[in-house]
Amino acid sequence: MPNKPINDHESFLEEVAKSIDITPAQHEDAVAKYTSIGEWLDRPESALDEYDPEIFPQGSFLIGTAIRPLDNREEFDIDLVCKLDAAKDDFSQKSLKTAVGAEIQSYADAHAMTNEPVEGRRCWTLVYAGGARFHMDILPAIPDEESYRVLLETAGHFAASRDVRVTGGAIAITDKEHPNYHRIADEWPSSNPVGYAAWFKEQMSGQLFERKRDFAASEQLVIASVQDVPDHKVKTSLQRAIQLLKRHRDYFYRDDPEHKPISIIISTLAAKCYGNERRIVDALSLILKNMDQHIENRNGVAWVANPVNPAENFADKWEGEVKKTQCFFDWLEAARRDFGAYLRASPFKQMPVELEDAFGSVLVKRVVASSVGPPAIVGLAATTERVDAAVRDVERRGQSTQPWADI
């Protein structure tokens, strides 16, 4: 889509969010790489071929809220699921993970990858060398719709248990710390990344449709339906607001990353607040105002319910570690203060120092310069002075000392 003029808080934040997003080239590269892995796992010679292995994304990459790391020298991670069409009596968690790991190792060997696959608690990690600047966490899994349905029923969530949108994408996953990890058993850890993504998409369905319609028109696409536009081609105000909040969170806890609020909590609470506002500034304001109102109190326990498994608490670690609870509210207070100061009391080209530091002064400076626009006549003194003044306005508040700022 053609670039919009940067002339207010909305367009300024849009441009900042674009700058911390992964690039279209990085997205295409990631898709190509995990597609290649999927094809390898499903080749006729694969030990997994009879189980029709399928690789697909989960997490922030799937819901369109991924951001670059604070330190631009670091990699970002792509979370993937490797699902086999198998049953729980075909594998133990350990044997499933070992089987998937063996094929990932053979893929790495066949493609002369510099880095060996690394086994983690739940996933296998593939680290790419060179300019890729990302790694892939691959989670072995098998279908688990029936067990998931029973789980919801047992917890008293009868309506959810009968909703195929909730149960249809359920999977059983591997976890080295699970008591049944080493043996064939009916009880496995469960997850539902596809169901969560469907819920998230539903929360922004109105804006997603509008953005796809606008994209199709601007690109003059010949398509049967607006829904044929791939999700990753557009971003809603919800996705942009979450990206901005995640970057603010990362910077706020740059010296204590262990205690920063996890992304799934921010994304879930933000989506519950969202009312399909068209503008980022409106979505951001509403989310920051109401985010904590969607944290339940269940018998004295802070509860951020998984929308596709109400019995699961995304904030379960808060109960055992009070500091994590306090850290969430400390960050929320800071985000309200910093974004509020920008939206209510600052010219759109002048971010408060706290926000400028979070997004990187070099990045902000570049957006400020873009907002001035190119000279109408090359060399026109008045226009050149406007550009210089805009840059000096940012420089006046000091140079960035963060190596990640020069994105």
Domain ranges, ordered by start, for the chain: 1-20+235-407, 22-192
Query: What is the number of other CB atoms lying within 10 angstroms of the CB of residue 363?
Result: 19
User: Which residues lie closer than 8 Å to 55 by C-beta, 6 or more apart?
Assistant: 34, 35, 37, 38, 41, 80, 81, 82, 138
Average pLDDT for the chain? 88
CB burial of 366-392 (b: ≥16 within 10 Å; e: otherwise) equals bbbbbbbeeeeeeeeeebeeeeeebee
Give the long-range contacts of residues 272-277, CB within 8 A, separation 24 or more.
272/203, 272/307, 274/203, 274/204, 274/238, 274/241, 276/204, 276/205, 276/206, 276/207, 277/207, 277/237
Q: Which residues of the chain have pLDDT under 50?
A: 375-407
The pLDDT of residue 346 is: 79
Contact 159, 268 (CB under 8 A): no
The pLDDT of residue 132 is: 67
The pLDDT of residue 2 is: 54
CA distance 115 to 212: 39
Q: Tell me how far CA of residue 399 lies from CA of 89, 363, 403, 406, in angstroms.
A: 60, 12, 11, 11
The pLDDT of residue 63 is: 98
The pLDDT of residue 281 is: 97
The pLDDT of residue 396 is: 45
The pLDDT of residue 372 is: 63
DSSP string, 202-234: HHTHHHHHHHHHHHHHHTT---S-GGGS-GGG-
The pLDDT of residue 391 is: 37
Distance from the Cα of residue 87 to its chain's centroid: 30
The pLDDT of residue 96 is: 98
The pLDDT of residue 143 is: 96
Superfamily of domain 22-192: Beta Polymerase, domain 2 (3.30.460.10)
